[in-house]
Structure 1
Amino acid sequence: MSVQRPIVVKAGGRLVANPETRIKILRNIVELSDNGKPVIFVHGGGDVVTEYSKRMGVEPRFVVSPSGIRSRYTGPEELEVYVMVMAGKLNKEIVAELNSDKVRAIGVTGADCGIMVAQRKKRIVIINERGRKQVIPGGYTGKIVSVNKECIEKLLSITNTVVVSPIALGTEGELLNVDGDQAASSIATAIQAEALVLLSDVEGVIIDGKVVPTIPLSLAEEYAAKTGYGMNRKILMAAEAVAKGVGKAVIAPGNVEDPVTKALSEETGTSIKP
């Protein structure tokens, strides 16, 4: 494995779908790679999946958990679209863009080499349209239960840049949609990354109209309870990684110049530290 501890960067689907923003993120990753810093880049792509689902006549569905976390409901038809778009279109487009800048990037899914193994959720509890709890079939989503650290290390021994699509191998051999923030957090934890950077389309954790520069690990759940659907998940996943040994986690804007470098230097975003 590379001497330097890797960093794990995750960019959400809205950032990836925006050509200008994606260029900013990928150029910064190229700069880090040129300077010898190993980067594992986990990409989202929900908006693009939604676009192609609608093109194919598969209406996307989203559900909200009792804790307030909103997520995509992945039925069998949407799983097919999800895999095609995430593993085929987006992952390889990102790899091509990186390699065009002479970075020897490798693109994989979490199913390759069993990088991420997840337990399929056979049933899930949601809050229905009436505001009541309801149990429904779990579809093809999963919770990550293990990460193949050795495979990641092997990949990093031949390249500084690995692009990961958040598709996991189910415990029964099926493909599963897994949350990108959870994927990035799990990978960062497994390899004991130097840092986890969760890039978003907002400036960081915003409370009372202001960006919170630092959140102590002990207060992460308290802050998560004060935020909306997407941000509460990011805070909890970032905090989990830090609690399990990752140096620090930063939730930062991805639509600025050098977004990863600025997040690492804490010029932007919200840092979660022990």
Structure 2
Amino acid sequence: MIVVKVGGEVLARNLDGIVESVGRRADRGIVLVHGGGIIVTELCKRMGVEPKFVTSPEGLRSRYTDRDEIEVYVMAMAGKINKRIVSGLLSRGVKSVGISGADGPTAIAERKERIVIVDERGRKRVIDGGYTGRIVEIRTELIDLLLSNGFTVVIAPVAVDGKGNLLNVDADQMAFKLSSAVRADKLVMLTDVPGVLINNRVIERIRTNEVNEMIKRVGFGMNRKLMSAANAIEQGVKEVIISSGLVEDPLAHALAGGGTIISP
């Protein structure tokens, strides 16, 4: 079984190519986790909700999801984006179902009550966590049921907490946690870069025992992916591939060795 994660930038630029590529290999059993932050931002602006972003002490810029934005976030992720992917697969004759992590439930998260940010003056501040969550449990019953009946599963990064609150969760986190829970044969991360780059060269393979050294040589976003990949492999995922989602037939490209393979 293959878990595929597609970022929002890739979907905005190559949605049809992704759907076509996934559809060709649906018989292998695929769960597609998607992002879509760019589309969420566009929809927020159209609906008069000003998108908010914060910067962490590590320099990572991320979406701040307040009460107004979680409504738009769920509409975009679990509705517009998710169903566009599903309809694309259906039009190609692929049995598919679109869900979010709140369905089942599949992804249970804890709301971040407080977060630390760096303000425009460079000072650290503690603010309310809003409606962003950290996944604490993946339940696979619904996904197992759908896969066993021949469906390709498309899942949006929306989770639910113990009080029934819908939460924005990171799509990378969803993909890594889910692939670990189902012990996927492969987790394919389709991004807007060709793989792990060092000195503008794609590193073809990284062993898990090399990850700690590698994370010192890549940017913050990629080092989080590498650390999560190593953790997923320790929990039973056979290999993680970080590859471009902007090439022709991106899933075939990744499975043929395009990009960076992280393995034991």
With normalisation by structure 2, the TM-score equals: 0.95
Q: 1:214 to 1:69 in 2, by over 3 A?
A: farther
1:57 is paired with a residue of what secondary structure?
Answer: coil
Return the offset for 1:112.
0.3
Q: 1:62 to 1:229 in 2, by over 3 A?
A: farther
Rounded Cα–Cα distance in structure 2 between residues aligned with 1:262 and 1:238? 19
Q: 1:37 to 1:176 in 2, by over 3 A?
A: same
* Of 197, 200, 204, the match for 2:195: 204
1:81 is paired with a residue of what secondary structure?
Answer: helix
Rounded Cα–Cα distance in structure 2 between residues aligned with 1:61 and 1:50? 9
Q: Which amino acid aligns with 2:217?
A: K
Return the offset for 1:265.
2.4
* Of 104, 115, 118, the match for 2:109: 118
Equivalent in the alignment of 1:12: 7
Equivalent in the alignment of 1:232: 223
1:28 aligns with 2:18: no
Equivalent in the alignment of 2:44: 53
Rounded Cα–Cα distance in structure 2 between residues aligned with 1:226 and 1:75? 34
Q: Which amino acid aligns with 1:66?
A: P
Equivalent in the alignment of 1:3: none
Equivalent in the alignment of 2:71: 80
With normalisation by structure 1, the TM-score equals: 0.92
In angstroms, what is the RMSD of aligned CA positions? Answer: 1.4
Equivalent in the alignment of 2:153: 162
Rounded Cα–Cα distance in structure 2 between residues aligned with 1:227 and 1:265? 24
**For each residue in 1:17-59, what CA deviation from the matched residue of structure 2 results, as whole angstroms up to 9, or x when unmatched?**
22xx1122111111111xx200000111100000011112222
Return the offset for 1:228.
2.7
1:195 aligns with 2:190: no
Rounded Cα–Cα distance in structure 1 between residues aligned with 2:212 and 2:59? 13
Identity of aligned residues (%): 49
Rounded Cα–Cα distance in structure 2 between residues aligned with 1:224 and 1:77? 36
Rounded Cα–Cα distance in structure 2 between residues aligned with 1:245 and 1:133? 38
**For each residue in 1:199-242, what CA deviation from the matched residue of structure 2 results, as whole angstroms up to 9, or x when unmatched?**
10111111111111112212324323433343233223222211
1:106 aligns with 2:101: no
**For each residue in 1:88-138, what CA deviation from the matched residue of structure 2 results, as whole angstroms up to 9, or x when unmatched?**
111111100100111010000000001000011000112332333321111
* Of 22, 32, 37, the match for 1:41: 32
Q: 1:187 to 1:238 in 2, by over 3 A?
A: same
Equivalent in the alignment of 1:265: 256
* Of 125, 132, 135, the match for 2:123: 132
Q: Gaps (5+ residues) in structure 2?
A: none
2:3 is paired with a residue of what secondary structure?
Answer: strand
Q: Which amino acid aligns with 2:20?
A: R
Question: Which deviates more, 208-217 or 228-237?
Answer: 228-237
Q: 1:132 to 1:226 in 2, by over 3 A?
A: farther
Rounded Cα–Cα distance in structure 2 between residues aligned with 1:128 and 1:202? 29
Q: Which amino acid aligns with 2:90?
A: N
Equivalent in the alignment of 2:56: 65
**Count of residue pairs the alignment pairs up:** 264
